[in-house]
Amino acid sequence: MRVPFQWLCELAGLSAPVDEVARRLTNAGFEVAAVHHAGEHWERVVVGQVVRIDPHPNADRLNLPTVTTGEAELQVVCGAWNFEMGDKIAFAHSGARLWNAYATEPRLEELKPTKIRGVLSRGMLCSPRELGLGDDHQGILILDPSAPVGRPLIEVLGDPVLEFELKANRPDALSVLGVAREAAALFGTEVHSPIPDPRPSAGALGMTVDLRIHDPALCARYSAAFVTGVSVTESPSWLRTRLEQAGMRPINTIVDATNYVMLELGQPLHAFDWDTIRGGAIGVRPARPGERLTTLDGQDRALTADTLCIVDAEGPVALAGVMGGQTTEVTSATTTVLLESATFDPVSIRRAAQRLTLRSEASRRFEKGLPPELTELALRRCVQLIESIGAGRGEFLSADAWPAPSAPQPVTLAFDRIERLTGLAYDRAEVRRALAALAFTLDDSGGELRVTPPFWRRDVTTPADVVEEVARLLGYDRIPNTLPMGRVTGVMPGEVDPRDDDLRDVMAGLGFCECVTYALTNETRMARLIPPDLLDADPEAPLGGAAAWDELRRSAMNEAGRALAERLLPLHRAPLRLRNHLSSDESTLRLTGLSTMLETLRANRRHADRDLMLFDYQPIFLRREDDLPDEPILLTAVLGARLSSGRWDETRTVDLHVVRGIVDELLTRAGVDPLAMGCQNVRHPTFAPGQAAGVTRADRLLAAYGQIAPQVAAAFDLDEPAWALLVDVEAVRAFDTDTAQFQPWSDYPAARRDLAVVVDADTPQADVLDTIHRAGRPLLASVRLFDEYRGEQIPPNKRSLAYTLSYAAPNRTLTDKEADRSHNKVTRALQHRLGAELRGPSGHGDTQ
């Protein structure tokens, strides 16, 4: 809300500098977002007068006013039409700094002489928005005829305007008087209320209106006042200037007066042309089925039963608290006006305004809940204002319906409650003074504080509210700094798992950079993970329906692939969609982080050709029937094609074994026993055939990794092979007790034996290793694969695996004979169980 400083000072009886007022109000909770020093940028803006208006030779929508500044006559090109010859306007010379009226972020720009459609413009006629005087940019600002031509505009219009950040709890703060009360309490001054005393006038004009409230829950009070002899003309300049400063557009005397009072007191008013009201009656009720109303903006609206209406004897004439109707609008032909001042139900008004997308200055105030006491006061002030500007004569209150008056309830609290909550022992006298300054009535004769708020402070209902009033008025800066003492807490529900930190650290240690990605994506983006020829490209269901997935699971996946799809890449699940979204790219909660990570990989590929290693450690969202979705955390990592390795510029190409090395280290470090991990081929359409694998433990898939299928990589616009690693963090957690049992080793020299085994090409290495481990017990201390060979020296369909084995005993140096005996057991087992042949000289190593 914009509050002109002069206006505020008048009502608050203030004479403090604007920055001091802004600072103290902000500290007390009336946050001043900005002080607009209207005029601080107006060095080259002066009062000008239009002396001629020519048509633009090349553009019908532009005209060419000539303006005198007293010293010179200057022709400009102008797109506005709301001025006439002789009007005084704000004229900007070139070099003036004006607000760009079209920029989304406010910014000042220097005006330069420009040719517009072939005609040179030697300055500009300014709109209020361009001068920083509000949002209005529908026409240029017309100044009061008394403004002296040639004088700097700042002498005519310069007045700071305070812009307040609105808070939802204080309807009284949406008025100049409300801010003034607050300022007066802070500065110890006297409020100068603009509300005139009542005068006995009902019936003086000899007119009556029959008021009827159908449901007091929807309209607590409806007050009305007649004004006759109405002259609907332009308001005086002081009034128009104030409205403009406050960001409202002047319209005519009657509308301006109602708006002025709304700004001043916070009570929205509406003016009906009385002669258009049928049957001399006004009622407040919800709309009936089939009723329609053409509102002031010219829209014909069908009304629903939850829309509160103002009706005359025949039907709706206004949407209560939201917008008036066209047929009852005040026009230049109007002679008699009925002013409406009412208290509507905040929820009803808020819902109607939202439903009709008609949120106005009026509805914003009703939504916060206005006090019924205000209706009558606002009418008095409005009638007085209309009379003072010669726009009519009226009654202060002609009719009033207030079915169930109620006063604010007192709040009772123990005095020490204030100290108990704030931690500061206030003096009783200063508490009394503070509450009195805010117009609270206080009775502490019984020891307890019995505090009754003024009618405009119905937000104060609990002891905590009273404590806040005292603390903020006396200043939060007096509250001391202490640390909370107290009892030790127990374990809290939902504690963050410290192992999350460990996993992130391990990934960083392995060379990956952590990403924090958006949880929002859409189905088309996720569907890129499936080659397009496998999913029917249905724009309605980019991820395919249940039938498509049944088929995919049957034909394009093996069992491990299905486990991957189930746990780590659940693209077959129906995702959670948003009802409202910022863009269709972000309409859905993700089922996987992989598509987003491949997009991130692609974005980074533009500037890097190696070491693209990224991971993301965030939840995915899985729908559950009648419950919150499941939000399991998945670790999703992606790698580009090449990693730095060796000398400065050397790289190695990522392959399945490179990723497996990472997976092994990661899972082992996460606590999974490396000897208990199994590994399987994974067939899944997201991954390249034969280039993907899953690591299991006790039949549970812990992680899957592999090369992204070339078609999928292409769909993400990747120009080189990409690799991915998905880890089921929850599953890994189930096994993190595997390790961390101390295993002693032998300090005696180990006997080393090398071994090259020729086995069938499709015999898994894991079987060979397992056989070695079993047969080598108990002296086998370690086994390390050092070569794999296929080629001419061995038969086709065979491969040779070469290992270094170490044998050791815990309590003595092993003799060669003992080592040989163990080693022979190993070779025999390989021969018998796997049909392996031993290649080359059976290894004899050194004793180390």
Among positions 29-68, residues that touch other proteins (CB under 8 A) are: 29, 31
To the nearest whole angstrom, how small is the minimum distance from the Cβ of residue 629 to other proteins? 5
To the nearest whole angstrom, how small is the minimum distance from the Cβ of residue 277 to other proteins? 31
Q: Rounded to an integer, what distance in angstroms lies between the CA atom of residue 725 and that of residue 564?
A: 11
Helices (H), 647-728: 656-669, 710-715
**Interaction residues for other proteins, span 102-131 (CB under 8 A):** 105
Q: Which of 305, 333, 429, 516 binds other proteins (CB under 8 A)?
A: 516
Q: Specify the stretch interacting with other proteins by CB under 8 A; choose among 91-99, 429-437, 475-483, 652-660.
A: 475-483
Q: Which of 115, 168, 357, 742 binds other proteins (CB under 8 A)?
A: 168
**Interaction residues for other proteins, span 364-423 (CB under 8 A):** 367-368, 420-423
Q: Count other Cβ atoms within 10 Å, centred on residue 621.
A: 19
- Does 1 sit near other proteins (CB under 8 A)? no
* β-bridge pairing 513-515 and 520-521: unpaired
- Does 791 sit near other proteins (CB under 8 A)? no
Q: Rounded to an integer, what distance in angstroms lies between the CA atom of residue 307 and that of residue 285?
A: 8
Strand-pairing partners, residue 91, are: 46, 125
Q: Specify the stretch interacting with other proteins by CB under 8 A; choose among 86-94, 223-231, 616-624, 792-800.
A: 616-624
For other proteins, give the closer residue by CB, 23 or 450.
Answer: 23
- Does 464 sit near other proteins (CB under 8 A)? yes
Q: Which of 96, 386, 397, 507 binds other proteins (CB under 8 A)?
A: 507
- Does 716 sit near other proteins (CB under 8 A)? no
Q: Which of 648, 657, 699, 747 binds other proteins (CB under 8 A)?
A: 648
For other proteins, give the closer residue by CB, 168 or 305.
Answer: 168
**Interaction residues for other proteins, span 323-362 (CB under 8 A):** 346-347, 350-351
Q: Which of 644, 737, 815, 824 binds other proteins (CB under 8 A)?
A: 644
Q: Rounded to an integer, what distance in angstroms lies between the CA atom of residue 23 and that of residue 32?
A: 8
To the nearest whole angstrom, how small is the minimum distance from the Cβ of residue 580 to other proteins? 6
Residues 6+ apart with CB under 8 A from 158: 37, 38, 39, 42
CB 122 within 8 A of CB 76: yes
For other proteins, give the closer residue by CB, 64 or 174.
Answer: 174
Q: Specify the stretch interacting with other proteins by CB under 8 A; choose among 92-100, 504-512, 746-754, 834-842.
A: 504-512
Q: Which of 527, 614, 654, 775 binds other proteins (CB under 8 A)?
A: 614
The three state secondary structure string of 748-782 is: CCCEEEEEEEEEECCCCHHHHHHHHHHHHCCCEEE
CB 245 within 8 A of CB 3: no
To the nearest whole angstrom, how small is the minimum distance from the Cβ of residue 112 to other proteins? 27
Task: Give me the phi and psi of 781, to 5 degrees please.
Answer: -95, -35
To the nearest whole angstrom, how small is the minimum distance from the Cβ of residue 90 to other proteins? 28
| Token pair listed for 478 | 């007096």
**Interaction residues for other proteins, span 680-699 (CB under 8 A):** none
- Does 167 sit near other proteins (CB under 8 A)? yes
| Token pair listed for 510 | 């392995």
Q: Rounded to an integer, what distance in angstroms lies between the CA atom of residue 518 and that of residue 531?
A: 24
The three state secondary structure string of 286-337 is: ECCCCCEEEECCCCEEECCCCCEEEECCCCEEEECCCEEECCCCCCCCCCCE
CB 672 within 8 A of CB 707: no
Element (H, E) at 382: helix 374-388
CB 773 within 8 A of CB 783: yes
Q: Specify the stretch interacting with other proteins by CB under 8 A; choose among 155-163, 201-209, 581-589, 684-692.
A: 581-589
For other proteins, give the closer residue by CB, 429 or 483.
Answer: 483
For other proteins, give the closer residue by CB, 260 or 716.
Answer: 716
Q: Specify the stretch interacting with other proteins by CB under 8 A; choose among 117-125, 289-297, 643-651, 798-806.
A: 643-651
* β-bridge pairing 751-760 and 837-838: antiparallel
- Does 577 sit near other proteins (CB under 8 A)? yes
Q: Specify the stretch interacting with other proteins by CB under 8 A; choose among 436-444, 471-479, 548-556, 679-687.
A: 471-479
- Does 543 sit near other proteins (CB under 8 A)? no
For other proteins, give the closer residue by CB, 519 or 834.
Answer: 519
| Token pair listed for 23 | 């600072």
Q: Specify the stretch interacting with other proteins by CB under 8 A; choose among 23-31, 92-100, 710-718, 746-754.
A: 23-31
CB 443 within 8 A of CB 411: no
- Does 629 sit near other proteins (CB under 8 A)? yes
- Does 628 sit near other proteins (CB under 8 A)? yes
Q: Rounded to an integer, what distance in angstroms lies between the CA atom of residue 728 and that of residue 538?
A: 30
- Does 27 sit near other proteins (CB under 8 A)? yes
* β-bridge pairing 798-807 and 751-760: antiparallel
Identify which of 626, 540, 638 has the alpha carbon closest to the alpha carbon of residue 593. 638
- Does 100 sit near other proteins (CB under 8 A)? no
- Does 231 sit near other proteins (CB under 8 A)? no
In 378-480, beta strands by DSSP E: 393-394, 399-401, 411-413, 441-443, 449-452
Q: Is the dihedral of CA 532, 533, 536, 537 positive or negative?
A: positive
Count the alpha carbons within 13 Å of 396 in the hemisphere toward its beta carbon. Answer: 12
**Interaction residues for other proteins, span 244-303 (CB under 8 A):** none
* β-bridge pairing 119-121 and 114-116: antiparallel
Structure letter (DSSP) for residue 719:
S
Size of the site for other proteins (CB under 8 A): 100
**Interaction residues for other proteins, span 557-576 (CB under 8 A):** 576
Q: Which of 387, 586, 673, 818 binds other proteins (CB under 8 A)?
A: 586
- Does 490 sit near other proteins (CB under 8 A)? yes
- Does 647 sit near other proteins (CB under 8 A)? yes
To the nearest whole angstrom, how small is the minimum distance from the Cβ of residue 407 to other proteins? 22
To the nearest whole angstrom, how small is the minimum distance from the Cβ of residue 773 to other proteins? 31
Q: Specify the stretch interacting with other proteins by CB under 8 A; choose among 126-134, 613-621, 667-675, 815-823.
A: 613-621
Identify which of 73, 74, 81 has the alpha carbon closest to the alpha carbon of residue 55. 81
For other proteins, give the closer residue by CB, 55 or 475.
Answer: 475
**Interaction residues for other proteins, span 811-840 (CB under 8 A):** none
- Does 652 sit near other proteins (CB under 8 A)? no
Q: Which of 480, 539, 744, 791 binds other proteins (CB under 8 A)?
A: 480
To the nearest whole angstrom, how small is the minimum distance from the Cβ of residue 683 to other proteins? 30
Please confirm whether the linkage preceding 575 is cis (ω < 30° from 0): no
For other proteins, give the closer residue by CB, 146 or 489.
Answer: 489
Strand-pairing partners, residue 837, are: 758
Residues 6+ apart with CB under 8 A from 290: none
Q: Which of 90, 140, 287, 467 binds other proteins (CB under 8 A)?
A: 467
- Does 621 sit near other proteins (CB under 8 A)? yes
To the nearest whole angstrom, how small is the minimum distance from the Cβ of residue 606 to other proteins? 10
Q: Which of 471, 725, 779, 808 binds other proteins (CB under 8 A)?
A: 471
Q: Which of 476, 532, 789, 839 binds other proteins (CB under 8 A)?
A: 476
- Does 524 sit near other proteins (CB under 8 A)? no
- Does 794 sit near other proteins (CB under 8 A)? no
Residues 6+ apart with CB under 8 A from 45: 90, 91, 92, 93, 96, 98, 126, 131, 152, 153, 154
Q: Rounded to an integer, what distance in angstroms lies between the CA atom of residue 728 and that of residue 733?
A: 9
